[in-house]
Amino acid sequence: MPALLDCLMSLPGLVITGASGFVGRHLMQAVRDDYRVFGVARRAQARSGVALHPNLAWLQADIGERPQVDAAFAAIAEQGGAGTVVHLAGHYDFTGGEDPEYWRTNVIGLRHVLAAAAAHGVRHFVFASALLACRPPRPGRAITEESPPHGQHIDAVTKREGEALMFEFSDRLHPVIIRFAPLFSDWCEYPPLFMLLETWLSDAWNRRMVCGQGQSSVPYLHINDAVLFLLEVLSRLGDLKPCEVLLASGDHAVSHRELYEAATLAFSGARQKPLLVPAPLCGPALAARDLVARMSGSPPVERAWLSGSIDTRMRTDASRTRARLEWAPRARLEILRRMPFLIENLRTDPMTWAEVNRAAMKRVRVPANLKIHWLLEQHQETVMSRFTEILTGPDGRERFPSYQVLTPAQHDWHHRLVFRTLLSAVRTRDKGVFMGYCRDLAEQRIKEGFTANELCGALETLNLVCWRVLRHDPESNGLRQAITDYVTATLRSGCDQAQEVFELAQAREHRAARQLGAPVEPAAATDWK
């Protein structure tokens, strides 16, 4: 054990803020064998999908709260400290409004991290800015490392403030500024692109529409290339100038028209041409869509405030950065070449596609049934254990006597089967599959001597357990009615079908008893409480 600790302490310390985010998760996986990594994030590690590792320490903190940041860096110092911070934490959404969270996280929170890093002896600070913080270049020009971050959107404004903070702290830290191109993966995970694909590949009335001449374009960068870029930066921090700006980007800006044709070709096997909507009409059309979407509670990504940037090209010249780092994006990871991989993932595993993009889009609408499906999957083991405890506990022994004869293995098998069938019904929004399962289950339970009250009481208990577990999770906020619609209503429908089977069986028994002249007992009443 001492030898292992000595080995771990010999590794350089690296702090990654925003560790639960898109880039943070991928970067931690890439560096955890070569660094003592301290991940700082609002969410807990278990909720972030980040695997345990002996070189990884997780510190849950909101960078907008100075005491939490100070406590996190004090804990890092107690564990040997760190010489480098990669600051990936930031706020971004697609509402178009000036959400106060932009300033609280992107400016105030950044200042908290910078102050704590300087106070605890951190030497290097890598700040993740954005290429889109710059204004679109004039025709024939390109964004370079010298371009000022003078974009007008609130995110660009706060990124500009963040870059200014790098100069303010340059006497205490050695900062480097990275302006990332829009990042994507083979599962998409870039909200504007996701929403474009969701529209273009749907049956929506506007599925063929592209604004202007379809020339709105940005350079995209695959997440795997972004991680390699960061690894090169980390290996060359001593050679980079204080506050040096680097562009994590290729030079080719891919247009909406190119994306549309590549996506439709991969999806249908035929390259389709978009229906181009003249730019003067796009502003009013987007404003109308925005109004309708707001009324329905799901604002679109293509907001009216974007109409002024239609057909702008974010052409980039990152040749100086490539020479400095001896790095370049790989051709096989260029977005048009990856489009078949994105579409294949969408087609073969739509559930995972929805879940990973849901994680990337805090404010873009995901169907409520998929949210509940995801939550149920996350809490499956808790639901199963509590369900079994109730059925076999002191109260259960009196209320559910027939369930007491089942072995633990039988309980586990049956409970997982009913839970998986419930999940399927929630995912597909089709109660029929669960209703059919409950009819078959009732037939089996009748043969085993169970009563209707026991079976329906068990389904009601499962509903109560699901409710309690889901409502305890903050992610279920705003989903009360949806839980009723997709969980309670499904279980209630299954109970109704089970009751029907029991009543028909009891009616058959009564008819047979009357034919034999035997006394007939009244049917037992069952009801969902």
Question: Residue 387: its pLDDT value, please?
Answer: 93
Same domain, 102 and 212: yes
Same domain, 247 and 391: no
Same domain, 325 and 412: no
Buried-state track 117-126, b at ≥16 Cβ within 10 A, e below 16 = bbebebebbb
Quick check: pTM over 0.75?
no
DSSP letter at 475 equals G
> Which range, of 317-321, 325-329, 399-403, averages the lowest pLDDT?
399-403
Q: Which of 71-75, 355-359, 470-474 has the highest mean pLDDT?
A: 71-75
Same domain, 223 and 153: yes
Report the distance separating Cα 105 and Cα 112, nearest Å. Answer: 9
Same domain, 72 and 189: yes
125 strand-pairing partners: 85, 175
Query: Confidence class of residue 523 from pLDDT cuts 50, 70 and 90?
Result: very low
Segment 395-438, tens digit of pLDDT: 888 899 999 988 999 989 989 999 999 988 888 888 988 999 99
- Per-residue pLDDT for 9 more than 60? yes
What CATH number is associated with residue 22?
3.40.50.720
Segment 224-243, tens digit of pLDDT: 999 999 999 999 999 999 99
Question: Residue 95: its pLDDT value, please?
Answer: 55
Is 460 within 8 Å of 526 (Cβ atoms)?
no
Same domain, 106 and 241: yes
Q: Of 338, 366, 394, which marks where a domain is finished?
A: 366
Tally of domains in the chain: 2
Question: Residue 8: its pLDDT value, please?
Answer: 54
Same domain, 362 and 379: no
Residue identified by tokens 């972004």 is: 226
Alpha helices in 32-153 (DSSP H): 45-48, 66-78, 100-103, 110-119
Same domain, 357 and 381: no
Segment 359-374, tens digit of pLDDT: 776 544 456 887 888 7
Same domain, 210 and 294: yes
Q: Confirm whether 520 is domain-assigned.
A: no
> What domain range includes position 401?
372-515
| Measured CA angle at 193 (ends 317, 143), to 5 deg | 15
CA-nearest of 443, 454, 374, 441 to 413 is 441
Q: Of 351, 366, 381, which marks where a domain is finished?
A: 366
Same domain, 340 and 382: no
Same domain, 162 and 265: yes
Same domain, 361 and 390: no
Segment 266-301, tens digit of pLDDT: 999 999 999 998 877 776 656 555 555 555 444 444
